[in-house]
Structure 1
Amino acid sequence: AGGDGLDALVALIRSFVDKGGYAVQFNVFDAETLRDAQRFPERYSTLQVRVTGWSVYFTCLSKKEQDLYIARVAHGL
């Protein structure tokens, strides 16, 4: 967390690129944002999440899929 966390993230990305990696994507939100999107989908029509290598609008997922995604985010997976 904080500056140390940012430094570690930058080092990870640099190492990935140095070893030939060419694409990296991050989801930057928390479980509470996703729960809010479930309650008020009209406020989050453009919220996209990564699911097994592709992007999808979170509000287009079924309730069960949303719950599974939120559980993964809440557990840091």
Structure 2
Amino acid sequence: MDTDFTRTDPQCDSIYTRGPSEVLDHATSEIAICSKLGFDATRKLAGERFKRAWPPLIKSDESVKSKVNSVHECK
């Protein structure tokens, strides 16, 4: 989860679709119609619209991770 959105340019790497869904899907706002939002969070290859150097990953300090995990009861 740490890198999901560090590799995404919302302008180029997201797609929104709308189309048919399962008739029995109770989570849709309309019967048999759904929408989906997708993100391309893969590392970009040379020539894939990314014109600058790839940014370095930011690593969280272990003490910060421990505190966040304790607050949110993550393991």
Scaled by the length of structure 2, what TM-score is found? 0.22
Q: Say which structure, 1 or 2, has more relative contact order (CA 8 Å, 6+ apart).
A: 2
Would you tell me which structure has more strand in proportion to its own residues?
A: 2
Q: Which one has a bigger Cα radius of gyration?
A: 2
Scaled by the length of structure 1, the TM-score of the pair is: 0.21
